[in-house]
């Protein structure tokens, strides 16, 4: 089955700097890659996703890239702000309804003031 590896496990960046989180996946059949942000005591919140027919997607300060050949995908947050501090999870799934999402192990992002 699918396996998603995520690194780093913790990341501390200065406010205003960029943060990058990287993931790899194992199943070439996966074609949907969501990213979730989880704040303390809350459920995972979908912040951006990318499908295998595109290589990059951007939404304001957040961008994701996908390299299907290498089975790599990454999350980039620019101009980080204190409210970006949270645990971020990458995930992979096959494009269909009722498909399970396989999560990475998470990255705890801390923004230093």
Size of the site for other proteins (CB under 8 A): 24
CA contacts within 13 A on the Cβ side of 55? 4
How far is CA 88 from each of CA 11, 53, 84, 97, rounded to the nearest angstrom?
10, 23, 10, 23
Cβ-based nearer residue to other proteins, 65 or 89: 89
Q: Tell me which of 73, 88, 89, 111 binds other proteins, using CB under 8 A.
A: 89
Structure tokens at 39: 């704040």
| Shortest distance in whole angstroms from residue 44 CB to other proteins | 5
Question: Which residues here bind other proteins, judged by CB under 8 A?
Answer: 32, 34, 36, 42-46, 49, 51, 89, 93, 95-106
């Amino acid at each position: 089955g699918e396996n998603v590896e995520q690194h780093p496990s913790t990341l501390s960046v200065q406010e205003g700097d960029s943060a990058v989180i990287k993931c790899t996946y194992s199943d070439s059949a996966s074609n949907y890659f969501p990213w979730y942000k989880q704040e303390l005591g809350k459920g995972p919140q979908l912040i951006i996703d990318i499908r295998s027919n595109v290589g990059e997607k951007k939404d304001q300060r957040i961008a994701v890239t996908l390299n299907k050949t290498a089975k790599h995908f990454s999350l980039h947050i620019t101009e980080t702000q204190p409210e970006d501090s949270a645990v971020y999870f990458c995930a992979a799934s096959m494009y269909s309804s009722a498909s399970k999402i396989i999560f990475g192990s998470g990255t705890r992002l801390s923004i230093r003031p």
